[in-house]
Amino acid sequence: MHLRRFFISPGHNYFGHHGKPAGTHPATEVDTLACVAGKGIRGDRFFEHKKNYAGQITFFAAEVFAELCEHLTLGDPSPADLRRNVITAGVDLNTLIGEEFEIQGVRFFGTRECSPCYWMDQAYVPGTESFLKGRGGLRAQILTSGTLALTMEAMTPDFTD
């Protein structure tokens, strides 16, 4: 698995906003993620959300983002609008559901797909939610504390942004 980009956001734009307008909290791109076992990512909106929360950290595949951009002819998209924390390359994230895995010494447990919701059509264009069904990313729990950092390899662009 290759780590390409990291994002955090201090507040929710969609979660808990059903029937209300989307929030306006920006997703901030960062070079490191401080992962805290059982709590989430320090500085992110889901940090200490609730005990054993399935989405303490979320992953999304750069390859799927590139397919999305091509399929829906997106103009100038940003993966930040996915509201996922880690953009990866080189792994089918669905294979990590129900599995423990390690990245840079930090252990995770893949809990389930990070299913797309109707807000995806607002974040990008109509049809986004449908296109991402079955490949919306991965929700995971953080089993051991540590810091994920982007490496020089991550600075090599390999998808649209």
CATH code for position 131:
2.40.33.20
In a domain, 56, yes or no: yes
Split into its structural domains, the chain has a count of: 1
What's the average pLDDT block by block, 10 residues per block, for the chain (161 residues)? 94 57 74 97 90 93 92 82 92 97 98 84 82 94 98 54 40
In a domain, 20, yes or no: no
In a domain, 124, yes or no: yes
In a domain, 119, yes or no: yes
Q: What is the reported pLDDT for 160?
A: 42
Domain that holds residue 135: 2-9+26-146
Sheet with 138-142: list strands edge to edge. Answer: 28-30, 2-8, 86-89, 57-61, 138-142, 106-113, 100-103
In a domain, 112, yes or no: yes
